[in-house]
Amino acid sequence: MSTTAVPLRPITKGSLTRLWVGIAAVALAAGGLAWAGQQGVKSSPAGFLAQNGGEDGVVTTESGLQYKVLEEGAGPSPTPTDVALVGYKGALLDGTVFDENPQTAMPVDGVVPGFSEGLQKMKKGGKYRLWIPPQLGYGEQAAGPIPANSVLVFDVQLHDFKSKADIMRMQQMMQQGGMPQGVPGH
């Protein structure tokens, strides 16, 4: 039996280093692509909400609203026929604040559906973080500084609420010159 010898060229100086540098470059590129892919999932509303829904303490309702109780309140919750006194900060997913008010009155049924649903989950004194998906916010419509198809993030504190009927009675009493009961100083 005869063996044919195949001559092997010796490895030139620096070839092994170039091989390892090439392998490292490919690994870094693969890692970068994987990271960029994850960022794409996070930046899409559905991708963000899917990931956020698995976070500790986040509750997802049947409609798709997500909320987290930051501080539980006490007593009953407002209904759609109530006016809520709230403090809130509204932001986009990138942290851009588009609206903020420490104390304002708003009809529970007069805000975007996701905000209304979130208010109806809260109790007086409670603080919640709401993640409102586009279909419960402004949807495909841009609204001022809010781009179309945006997830809205609200930190909300429910100070108090009253029925619209109670507010009407208080207004009528004030117009007649009387002060409603429970107003400080009278």
Residue-by-residue DSSP string for 120-167? HH--BT-EEEEEE-GGGTTTTS-BTTB-TTPPEEEEEEEEEEEEHHHH
Domain count, the chain: 1
For position 125, what pLDDT does the model report?
A: 96
Q: Does residue 17 form part of some domain?
A: no
Per-residue model confidence as pLDDT tens digits over 24-80:
777 777 766 665 555 444 468 999 999 999 999 999 999 999 999 999 999 999 999
* Residue 124 in domain: yes
Does any domain span residue 105?
A: yes
What CATH number did the domain enclosing 120 receive? 3.10.50.40
Please state whether the predicted TM-score (pTM) of the whole model is above 0.85. no
Domain span including residue 145? 58-174
In a domain, 20, yes or no: no
Q: Residue 143 above 70 pLDDT?
A: yes
Whether 169 maps to a domain, the answer reads yes
**Residue 161 domain-assigned (yes or no):** yes
pLDDT value at residue 97: 97
Asked, for residue 167, whether it belongs to a domain, the answer is yes
